Amino acid sequence: MTVMTLPALLDATELDALPRPAYAVEPGRQYPLGATVDDHGVNFAIFAPDATAVELLLFASHDDRSPIATVRLDPEVNRTFHFWHVYLRGLGDRAHYAYRVHGEDDPATGRRFDPEKVLIDPYSRANSKTLWNRGDACRPGDNLGSSIRSVVVDPRDFDWAGDRPLRKPMRDTVIYEMHVGGFTRSPTSGVKNPGTFSAVVEKIPYLKELGVTAVELLPVFEFDDTESRIVDGRRLTNYWGYSTMAYFAPHPGYCVKPEIGDHVNEFREMVKALHAADIEVILDVVFNHTDEGNHQGPMYSFKGFANSAYYYLVPEDKRFYYDYTGCGNTFNTNHPIGEKFILDCLRYWVEEMHVDGFRFDEASVLSRGEDGAPLPHPPVLWQIELDEVLVDTKVIAEAWDAAGLYQVGHFPGARWAEWNGRFRDDVRRFVRGDAGAEGGRSLVGSVAARMTGSADLYAWNNRLPVNSVNFVACHDGFTLNDLVSYDGKHNEANGEGNRDGVDDNMSWNCGVEGPAGPDVEALRDRQVKNFAAILMLSQGVPMILMGDEVRRSQGGNNNGWCQDTDISWFDWSKVSANDHIFRFFKEMIAFRKRHPAIHRSRYLQGSAGPVNARGLADITWHGTRVGAPDWSADSRVLAFTLAGPDDGSDLHVILNMYWEPLDFELPSVAGHGWCRAVDTALAAPQDIAAPGAEVSHPAATYRVEGRSVVVLVNRPI
């Protein structure tokens, strides 16, 4: 045992409880990985099976360019098989540290050891990028003075006040996809610390009023937002955050005081406040690749510890990386250490940070084996599926990747929900006014399948409506406003000559490209309400994009990944300017919650199933005439009746995406009469009624205006 005497590791202004001025260096343990604090010191452990030497660097503060001590690990004492470890008795919370790792530098065999590069711990709970220079991590030479510092974090030091994950049923979930920074970064937000976790807390009353049950946060794991370029006077950077640097560390750019290493507690305060408002927290996670990129990218972590274990390398020449993600590299998710890393990370965010779920970016990558080919039973996906710590955690897959593997309806596992891209595409085309047929089914038939939980995609392997996350817009693509305002993308501000982004958005500008006069804007309001109504009336799990409820626009930019500007930010002036749209979304969400027939846990059976006390099957299909649905390729109309519970109300839904008004017959229910709850063709507040204020409609038919949705509820008469 070696005893070392050091000056205080942190300034007194940064931490009240200073670490002891002396500590003992002991062998330590190989588990758990990362920097683990106990009552007497800190255990450090890393995976580096081919390393020949490891140095642990200790820094006095976040902006020290040189370490105050270097602990050289002895392979005879501080190594157990694949792992290097050391215990520093007397060291405490908030200490700053990093590594240098020695070994063979032979990229052709997959080894990229470079002791001149300072590395952060893959398991670090917080990091400081005060000195960070990305270019220095890409070039040969020592980057000590411009490297990142990891921070020792003691997760025990937080008062949860009884908080825990909420475990809401998936069938009752309404998701709000949002960007932590962009939600409040606009000067219109009026918050104390714009763009931070704490600012989200200030806006919880807004989320509560809207009625969403969960926020799905674009990546909050640390990413590199320092690299930038200027285009037309705008600073472009990595705004979305889909290139992760550190998977256990909250992004410092969302913290009020990242320099003191309080990232973890700032995130926890947000989670605790959201839970207190009965709102779950789902994290968008990116395990398919890392920010180290390809052979020309920076080395700051995984490459320098175990390059050939953490990444898919080209077998013929391991200098190069397989790129199934479109981001330069692919994480080796089904290597034993990759699988362990992912499971350790997810468990940490559930157990220590109390998050309620995860959405996995390009999740199909996680189904690939070490040779890159899809596996029938991918170990990491099944481990997540079956893990006892994660059993009540929501898991959502983006069931495709950049290399063309598309698994919507076929993603491995049983409880995995999927972003249903088929829902998005079919509903967009239908509301645009398209008709036609594909694969032997008309578009209106496909819309019927989407609105009833996509049984054609999921029922074949005993999955359920909750396996379908339904959405019309998400962060990647047009906002809902832009979907009804632009025929083509307008990405010039991205500096790539409008070549980036998807070309076919299945959008319609209602006759004018971009901002228009009152008549066109009124039609756009109607189209936005049509999308909102269809989304909330569909079986499955609805997801709304941040700001769609107030017609947030990106000016036709459908690829805002680099726009940490007012192009992407939530403009809070829209809340009052478009309060009628906000009200429609709010009431539509509330309507969904009041009517269990819209969010069933099992598929609808129609005439093959039981009937309720009023003799109605769970669903009956119609067209303009009762009992006569039009499934033809030319059809643009669909109507259906949903049976409510014996002591509740039934619903009758009419969709007319033809551009002229049509008269629809209404079914007769003995002892009950129909009342109008929703008509998107009407101006607010008549477009949607508050509960109990529905308008009686005694006629046997209902005239439905072109491009509109009507919902009727029945009442005893």
CATH number at residue 669: 2.60.40.1180
Q: Which residue in 18, 19, 46 sits closest to 32, CA to CA?
A: 46
For residue 596, CA distances in Å to 183, 591, 645 come to 31, 10, 8
Tokens (6 digits) for 427: 């509903």
Task: Identify whether 266 is a catalytic site residue.
Answer: no
Distance CA 161, CA 623 (A): 54
Q: Is residue 591 part of a domain?
A: no
- The answer to whether 380 and 285 are in contact (CB under 8 A) is no
For residue 551, the model assigns a pLDDT of 98
Q: Is the bond into 32 cis (omega within 30 degrees of 0)?
A: yes
Q: Is residue 139 part of a domain?
A: yes
Q: Is residue 260 part of a domain?
A: no
Which range marks the domain in which residue 654 is found? 608-716
Residue at a domain's end among 97, 130, 151: 151
Catalytic residue among 177, 280, 356, 361: 361
Q: Is residue 455 part of a domain?
A: no
Question: What's 99's domain CATH number?
Answer: 2.60.40.10
Q: Is residue 53 part of a domain?
A: yes
Tokens (6 digits) for 163: 């908080």
For residue 716, the model assigns a pLDDT of 93
Q: Is residue 282 part of a domain?
A: no
Tokens (6 digits) for 636: 């643009």
Task: Identify whether 361 is a catalytic site residue.
Answer: yes
Residue at a domain's end among 83, 116, 151: 151
Catalytic residue among 136, 262, 398, 564: 398
- The answer to whether 552 and 481 are in contact (CB under 8 A) is yes
Residue at a domain's end among 118, 151, 184: 151
Stated length of the chain: 717
For residue 288, the model assigns a pLDDT of 96
Strands (E), 553-624: 619-622
Q: Which residue in 446, 423, 425 sits closest to 506, CA to CA?
A: 425
pTM here is 0.95
Structure letter (DSSP) for residue 402: T
Enumerate the β-bridge partners of residue 26: 87
Pairing of strands 441-442, 437-438: antiparallel
Q: Is residue 660 part of a domain?
A: yes
Residues 58-84: pLDDT tens digits? 999 889 999 999 999 999 999 999 999
- Which portions of the chain are predicted below pLDDT 50? 1-21
Residue 187 CB contacts under 8 Å (≥ 6 apart), including other chains: 194
- The answer to whether 621 and 636 are in contact (CB under 8 A) is no
- How many folded domains does the chain comprise? 2
Q: Is residue 91 part of a domain?
A: yes
Distance CA 690, CA 684 (A): 12
Structure letter (DSSP) for residue 503: S
For residue 1, the model assigns a pLDDT of 44
Angle, alpha carbons 71-77-80 (nearest 5°): 110
